[in-house]
Structure 1
Amino acid sequence: MLVVTTNDIPGFRVVRHLGLVRGLTVRSRSVVGNIGAAIQIFFGGNISVYTRLAEHTRQEAFDLLVEHAQSMGANAVIAMRYDANEIAAAVTEVLAYGSAVIIEPVTDGSSASTAPPGPWSGR
């Protein structure tokens, strides 16, 4: 599954738009995590407890996005974005969303090459 933040993919053409896909997760910080973060806040710098929570939450939303796209028959997601909102004190939602598409390599004899493997391509 190729997932990109752009509206097109060099070396590929969109042959079918399947619609909006999303991955949503809602997370809260634990009391233990808040205590650990409070200690880190006291000393300053990166709050690694929250960094790990944020990264885990974004990854979960991303994985759900990919799962949703695959269930629709997509082989790519274009215009992927993240959004996050605080629902209540210490409760945050993270939404990953984009457009599910079917793509195919450009084979018109031009010099366009296929997209190189990248961190979001799964290759």
Structure 2
Amino acid sequence: MGAGFSKDDENDRTGALFQAIRRDRFQLATELISKGAGVNCMNNFGNTPLIQTCRNNRTSNRTGRAVESDRERFVSFLISNDCDMSKYDIYGWTALMYAEKNGHDNIIDILEKKDIMCSDDTETKE
């Protein structure tokens, strides 16, 4: 028997991760990923952590600015940990589409810059 995690532990971690993201608790979400929740794991709707992060509406009050700053840092964390930005959820939406719909302008910039860098890398390798 190995000392790895059981499937139940993995499911618990994934559920806790998506709950943390829905509640804008990005530090907790970062810790859960660092402890083994997959950066590309999916919930029942096909949402990855990146998609779920971009699905939430932008908040505009004073505390909302801090939340949005945390959201942007979390997106950068996901990208630096090689999340798949091209995934679609069950509705055919990507993280970029949700970011555009919900007014996450800084996240749009982050995703587009990363996409351009990835395109440049692909062209260089060919």
Does the alignment reach a TM-score above 0.5?
A: no
Pick the structure with greater CA Rg: 1
Higher RCO (CA 8 Å, separation ≥ 6 residues): 1
Give 1 or 2: higher strand fraction.
1
TM-score, with structure 2 as normaliser? 0.25
TM-score, with structure 1 as normaliser? 0.25
